[in-house]
Amino acid sequence: MKPFALIAALALAASPVLALDLTTDTQLGSTPDEIRTSLKDLGYDVRKIEDEDGKIEAYVVKDGKMAEVYVDPKTGKISKIEME
């Protein structure tokens, strides 16, 4: 199972420009608490989580990059990422 993680880690290390290693379809959770925990585990500073038109919106910061991450609580996946 480890090779994949290793490849992923190498890929990330090789491309430090891509500070946000989140994509739509990344599974984060279906409640604000789960989402906060998932994002923290991925190394994000979670500034705020709130409801936004039926989606859960998280304000995150990592490596000086800011983004608003929208999660669909029905699927637990990211539906939209807005970089600042």
Partner 1 sequence: MAGTPGGREGAREIRVWDPLVRLTHWGVALGVLVNSALTDPDGALHEQVGYGVLALVVLRLLWCIVGPKPARFSAFPPSPAAALGHLRAMLRGERKVHLSHNPMGALMVYNLWLTLLALSATGIMMGTVTFFGVDWVEELHEAAFGWLMFSVALHVGGVLFDQWRTGVPLARAMVTGRKRIQAERLDG
Return residues touching partner 1 (CB under 8 A). 47-48, 59-61, 64, 66, 68, 82, 84
Residue 10 or 24 with smaller CB distance to partner 1:
24
Burial 26-44 (b: 16+ CB within 10 A, else e): bebbbebebbbebbeeeeb
Residue 41 or 84 with smaller CB distance to partner 1:
84
Minimum distance, C-beta of residue 67 to partner 1, in the bound complex (Å): 9
Residue 61 or 76 with smaller CB distance to partner 1:
61
Minimum distance, C-beta of residue 5 to partner 1, in the bound complex (Å): 29
